[in-house]
Amino acid sequence: MAASAAPPSSATGARAYGTTPRINGTRLVESIHYTSETWGAAHRYGEDHTETGMARLSLDDDDAAVRRWLAKEAEALGCTVTVDQIGNMFLVRGGENTDVPPTFMGSHLDTQATGGRYDGILGVLAGLEALRTIHEQGVKTKGPIGLVNWTNEEGARFPMITMASGVWAGVTSLEAAWNCKETPAAAARYGHSDPVTVKEELQRIGFLGTTPATPAAMPMAAHFELHIEQGPILEAEDRPVGVVEGAQGYAWYEVTVRGKDAHAGTTPLHRRRDALLAAAQMIVASNGVAHAESASTDKKVGVVTAGVVSALPGTPNTIPHTASFTLDIRHPEPARLQAMVAACKTQFADIGAKGGVSVDWACLSDNAPAVFHPDCVAAVEAAAEEEVGQHTTASGATITGHRRMWSGAGHDSCNVNKHYPAGMVFTRTKDGLSHTPVEYCSPEDCIKGAQVLLGAVLRFDAKRDI
């Protein structure tokens, strides 16, 4: 029984849920490639028309054009279109009750400068296809159903990731986001002698809205996001769908090690205070902390990455007096995240004492794990069971086609989760690759993910007590 065929005439109380209406999978895939090839295609890597990456940076002309296309498509479905002060687009189709917050789907249409066709784009266009399905099949929903295009999720042009959902959630101030300038590389790309700000570009492309970018101005019943996994787990297990329980917390640090510069040829090993050598030992130790944490449970979680390393004075024949490196520590459990930080600090102090160097830590960013709402996770899991509960692998085995998992990356849903229930659906990513032109999700997996997204949204709506 489709959601539109639910028997109660009353709008109050939960409804029984039957079978999710089928989306038009061919149209979804065509929409992905049409919008990608028309607005932002770049970095060809094959002969087929689909074999390019993307360079649709936030608030550039291609982003503006695809935004206008999205608004037009949504209006044709009877949706209202609201743009807030940071350019977020809220497309809402009414339900039987119009005076209650919508259940939203959402993601982003901006990409990396050398990005692919699926990161963010799949989530928005799957949401649009869900709205098309609801409209064309006459699905009656208890509350409104909406779609969000969040501005500047990537931070590739304006260096502030998940910027606009962060403004909406109160994590980032509107003024800070408005005044954020494009990177020098972006300014050169667009021929700007002086980098422009977010507010200037919002004004230029006509997406500086008047609606406050706040939960009070645009409340939600829930927010569901379809996204490529951007990692190797689902593909390795040959499962099409991931049911996301939340996103790992992370702590970013810059670690500075100070020793003593000296001549590389005349200073014996036992008299050296080599800052770079000590830093290298610390990086190796941090990797050991991550491996120990990952091995401690069957979930295999907890990672540490040293991303940027520098040393002074930076000459071949001088022992470095100062070395610094960034450390990205992630874990889905706050207590274990802090335990990993503490273990690194203890081991680094020991290395410093043995090497005659000092160690200083500066916190660059600290973000707690996002644990998604159990009702949203349950809705996604039920929809996944309906769509891929019995899955035949490439080897011919029959397995459950979905699994619960954590996101290693941050997403707009993590900001929404601070105020309203949120949930996510993952699809397989070929070779685990993302933020690259060759990023790929098969048409079949795009369709399965979109079907699960629609099923989760309709299940959540059916259970609303309105």
Residue 336: CATH number of its domain: 3.30.70.360
Residues 271 and 208 in one domain: no
Identity of the residue numbered 395? S
> How many folded domains does the chain comprise?
2
Residues 363 and 409 in one domain: no
| The pair of three-digit structure tokens given for residue 274, joined into one six-digit string | 């080599």
Question: Interior CA angle at 219 toward 103 and 18, to 5°?
Answer: 15
Rounded Cα–Cα distance for residues 26 and 132 (Å): 13
Rounded Cα–Cα distance for residues 254 and 432 (Å): 28
DSSP code of residue 214: S
Q: How many residues does the chain have?
A: 466
Closest CA to 180 of 208, 152, 206: 152
Residues 331 and 454 in one domain: no
The CB-side HSE value for 289 (13 A sphere, CA atoms) comes to 28
Give the residue numbers spanning the domain of 271: 249-367
Q: Among 367, 397, 424, identify where a domain stops.
A: 367
Grouping H, G, I as helix, E, B as strand and the rest as coil, residue 183 is coil
The pLDDT assigned to 16 comes to 75
Residue tagged 């009656």 (tokens): 140
Identity of the residue numbered 343? A
Residues 234 and 336 in one domain: no
Residues 111 and 214 in one domain: yes
| The pair of three-digit structure tokens given for residue 366, joined into one six-digit string | 């600290």
What's this model's pTM, rounded to 2 decimal places?
0.88
If 0-12 CB within 10 Å is exposed, 13-18 middle and 19+ buried, where does residue 462 land?
Answer: middle
Q: Among 311, 341, 367, identify where a domain stops.
A: 367
Residues 388 and 451 in one domain: yes
User: Mind listing the pLDDT tens digit of every residue in the chain (466 residues)?
Assistant: 233 333 333 345 677 788 999 999 999 999 999 999 999 999 999 999 999 999 999 999 999 999 999 999 999 999 999 999 999 999 999 999 999 999 999 999 999 999 999 999 999 999 999 999 999 999 999 999 999 999 999 999 999 999 999 999 999 999 999 999 999 999 999 999 999 999 999 999 999 999 999 999 999 999 999 999 999 999 999 999 999 999 999 999 999 999 999 999 999 999 999 999 999 999 999 999 999 999 987 778 899 999 899 999 999 999 999 999 999 999 999 999 999 999 999 999 999 999 999 999 999 988 889 999 999 999 999 999 999 999 999 999 999 999 999 999 999 999 999 999 999 999 999 999 999 999 999 999 999 999 999 999 999 999 999 9
Rounded Cα–Cα distance for residues 197 and 187 (Å): 10
Residues 300 and 409 in one domain: no
Alpha helices in 221-260 (DSSP H): 233-237
The CATH number that applies at residue 195 is 3.40.630.10
Question: Interior CA angle at 396 toward 393 and 400, to 5°?
Answer: 45
Residues 88 and 111 in one domain: yes
Residues 320 and 440 in one domain: no
What is 235-274 written as a DSSP string? HHHT-SEEEEEEE-EEEEEEEEEE-B-EETTTS-GGG-B-
Residues 219 and 321 in one domain: no
Residues 161 and 267 in one domain: no
The pLDDT assigned to 3 comes to 36
Q: Among 321, 344, 367, identify where a domain stops.
A: 367
Instruction: Give CA torsion, residues 285, 290, 293, 297, to 10 deg.
Output: -150
Rounded Cα–Cα distance for residues 21 and 137 (Å): 8
Residues 193 and 258 in one domain: no
